[in-house]
Amino acid sequence: MKIHLDKIASATKNVGLSSDAILSSEIPAEEGIVIAVRVHGTKTVYNNVEDLHGRMIRLDDGDLLAGVLGSRRALRGYAGVVPETVKPGDMLDILNLGGVIGKCTSTNIDLGAPLQAEVLGAILDFPYLEERRGVPASIRTDAIPWSETLEPSAPLVFVAGTCMHSGKTFACGEIIHGLAKKGYKVCGTKLTGVSLLRDTLSMEDRGAIKSLSFNDSGIVSTSEKVSVPVAKGIINALNKEEPDLIVVELGDGILGEYGVQAILHDKELMTAAGLHLLCAPDPVASWGGAELYKNKFKLKLSVISGPATDNDVGKNFIRESVGIAAINSRLEAKALADFIEAAVLKETPAELSCA
């Protein structure tokens, strides 16, 4: 079956699709398989999809869309899974703006029910030259390989948060911008979360010489099972650029279900850490996050940013009651870059690590 796609979601970018696609009715029910769907319904919120260029485009009833089978476990978004079987005619759901498609298991009160997606078939890839035999396209094909070992690395600046929308992506951008302006070669990566191209594109917009995410490793959503080998593979790839440091965003929260805890518990990754920054929305989250770093992860938390530092009330609490530096990435971007330069690029990670 041949179709002409109206829209191609960014989660498919590893495959390099064109608008004309050939479909198969045989669909492996596996994360990473690229499928074509027909959009059903209209919405006034969460009605967009990110395209291959990082633009948000509206989804309309009847659109033919290329997306990727996957799961999601978001606190402030949809939760969903890949069904045990997938066949043409099944009604699935569009779980995120990057085009992850699965069966919704939990909605969000602010977003309403997700847009539905009628499965049309698996989009075929033709990897064999001069052969007309196609295979179901997967974003795992030719992806960055996972690794059980971290190779020698530039210092890693880990930016985590207590929850979604706590300021992590903005802080990463300001750190990258400030250090790039100082002449440092900076790479950026997002290691956990659910697929969305805009986060790594924003890192390059702010001055990163290269950025990668877990999507480049062939997955649309991270978990405790995969986050560490995926992270090591991505960092190994970025180190080929010979950066002075790598800014690492850990999507979701430090107690979420996307594998952040596994990364913070991994000795190899933490040995390469030059600094840990936590974004928090309020003083309670700042205090609780600091306690988790100290008692659960056994790591030194160096600085807190995010909405909890939007004015002196929050910053004074963090400095005096939590005992950690507080620097607002929106209002004190230069000070934040200076702090990280002094801590990471003028000292060794060993001097900064927690005993």
The 10s digit of each residue's pLDDT in 144-202 is 999 999 999 999 999 999 998 899 999 999 999 999 999 999 999 999 999 999 999 99
pLDDT value for 127: 79
pLDDT value for 131: 67
| 43 pLDDT more than 50 | yes
Among 136, 167, 202, identify where a domain stops: 136
Question: Cα angle at 313 between 311 and 318, to 5 degrees?
Answer: 100
What mean pLDDT comes out for the span 210-221? 97
Residue 25 identity? S
Q: How confident is the model at residue 76 (pLDDT cuts 50, 70, 90)?
A: confident
- The answer to whether the CB of 43 falls within 8 A of the CB of 115 is yes
Question: Cα angle at 277 between 155 and 340, to 5 degrees?
Answer: 55
To 10 degrees, the CA torsion angle through 21, 27, 28, 30?
Answer: 70
- Residue 143 within a domain: no
Integer angstrom CA distances of residue 129 from 56, 126, 135, 288: 34, 8, 13, 56
212 and 333 share a domain?
yes
Full-prediction pTM beyond 0.85?
yes
- Residue 93 within a domain: yes
pLDDT value for 344: 95
What mean pLDDT comes out for the span 132-145? 93
80 and 166 share a domain?
no
- Residue 94 within a domain: yes
63 and 166 share a domain?
no
- Residue 230 within a domain: yes
Q: How confident is the model at residue 353 (pLDDT cuts 50, 70, 90)?
A: very low
- Residue 39 within a domain: yes
pLDDT value for 129: 66
Q: What is the mean pLDDT of the chain?
A: 94
pLDDT value for 128: 75
Q: How confident is the model at residue 5 (pLDDT cuts 50, 70, 90)?
A: very high
What mean pLDDT comes out for the span 313-336? 97
Question: Cα angle at 36 between 31 and 39, to 5 degrees?
Answer: 110
pLDDT value for 209: 98
110 and 167 share a domain?
no
224 and 334 share a domain?
yes
211 and 124 share a domain?
no
Q: Which of 227, 147, 245 is nearest to 190 (CA)?
A: 227
pLDDT value for 352: 39
DSSP state of 139: T
pLDDT value for 346: 75
pLDDT value for 132: 76
Count structural domains, the chain: 2
| 240 pLDDT more than 70 | yes
Q: What percent of the chain has pLDDT over 90?
A: 91
Spatial distance between the Cα atoms of 43 and 239, rounded to a whole number of angstroms:
42
- Residue 343 within a domain: yes
| 351 pLDDT more than 80 | no
pLDDT value for 164: 87
Helices (H), 130-167: none
65 and 161 share a domain?
no
Q: What percent of the chain has pLDDT over 70?
A: 97
Spatial distance between the Cα atoms of 205 and 223, rounded to a whole number of angstroms:
28
Quote the longest CA-to-CA distance of the chain: 69
The 10s digit of each residue's pLDDT in 105-131 is 999 888 999 999 999 999 999 877 666
pLDDT value for 60: 96
73 forms beta bridges with 79
The 10s digit of each residue's pLDDT in 261-317 is 999 999 999 999 999 999 999 999 999 999 999 999 999 999 999 999 999 999 999
Spatial distance between the Cα atoms of 303 and 320, rounded to a whole number of angstroms:
13
Across 307-329, b (16+ Cβ under 10 Å) vs e yields: bbbbeeebbebbeeebebbbbbb
pLDDT value for 130: 64
What is the domain-level CATH number for residue 255? 3.40.50.300
324 and 179 share a domain?
yes
Among 106, 136, 166, identify where a domain stops: 136
75 and 131 share a domain?
yes
Residue 98 identity? G
What mean pLDDT comes out for the span 310-333? 97
- Residue 270 within a domain: yes
- The answer to whether the CB of 262 falls within 8 A of the CB of 229 is no
163 and 129 share a domain?
no
Q: How confident is the model at residue 355 (pLDDT cuts 50, 70, 90)?
A: very low
pLDDT value for 14: 93
End-to-end CA distance of the chain: 61
| 350 pLDDT more than 60 | no
Residue 158 identity? F
Among 136, 164, 195, identify where a domain stops: 136
Both tokens assigned to 129: 């030259």
What mean pLDDT comes out for the span 241-267? 96
DSSP state of 275: E
What mean pLDDT comes out for the span 36-60? 96
What string of DSSP letters covers 220-245? SB--TTTHHHHHHHHHHHHGGG--SE
| 38 pLDDT more than 80 | yes
Domain carrying residue 228? 156-352
198 and 294 share a domain?
yes
- Residue 150 within a domain: no
174 and 259 share a domain?
yes
pLDDT value for 314: 96
